[in-house]
Amino acid sequence: MLAAVVVAALGSGGADHGHLAVSREWPGFFGLLGAAGMVFFAFVGYSRIAVLGGRVREPQTTIPRAITIALAGVSAVYLLVGASALMVMGRERLSVSAAPLADMVAAVGRSELVPAVVAGAALASLGALVSLIPGVSRAVSAMAADGHLPRYLAGSGVAHRAEVAVGALVVLLALTLEVRGAIGLSAFGVLAYYTIANASALRLGPEENRPPLLVPVVGLAGCVVLAFSLPLPSVVLGTSVIAAGAFAWLLHQAVPWRGR
């Protein structure tokens, strides 16, 4: 579908290469770094490759190679689709569009592609949810089994209770948050996650395949800077969620709950 959209855009007379010119307007560090934080969200899928380490041969070489190839391929697709949209829509129209690809094919006179673009976006979102919800559900079930979440969510065998709870939460967020707000909140959460991961890497010993010290230090600083450069509502909401979780954990540790 993306290939059809790009061909329709570049093959039309409405694509203006002049829209690719670099703007002389400096967006400010918060604008630049905030955009980088939002874009970071689009690349987090590479972590799905890393969890396959126990299922492939020679994971020390296979996994880094697969991640590099995946990032290069995805970057090429993003650049091609983004450049096509920019050439057709221009900066101003593209920045305010709620459905840029659908608007782009409509702008080049290919309105018949709009339903296919919408369906493709829905299927892509569904595919991402199908791959992510089971992983998140297993984490929720494991935390419930350890007593960090209500034990009801642990269930027995398959984490069906956790899957239902996570699915309901996803539906609630999809109905209450607009797309940019949801992406901003997700980006803040992902950056917070990688902040913790880089901080944890600082505590690795020499015998634990520790990376050069500069890697986790730069990664830690970069994640913090990008996270707090995101749009203010995303930062406030994300910080509130993490603070509420930390408070609930401290309360859980301090109060002798029954059945613990």
For residue 102, give Cα distances in angstroms to 108, 109, 187.
Answer: 10, 11, 24
Dihedral sign for Cα atoms in the order 96, 100, 102, 104: positive
Counting as low any pLDDT under 50, the low residues of the chain are: 259-260
Residue type present at position 64: P
- Three-state DSSP at 22 gives coil
Helices and strands: H and E segment counts in the chain:
10, 0
What is the model's pLDDT at position 158? 61
Tokens of residue 11, six digits: 């093959």
What is the model's pLDDT at position 256? 62
- From CA 37, how far away is CA 58, in angstroms rounded? 33
Polymer length in residues for the chain: 260
State the DSSP H helix or E strand holding residue 73, giving kind and residue range, or none if neither: helix 59-96
What is the model's pLDDT at position 54? 67
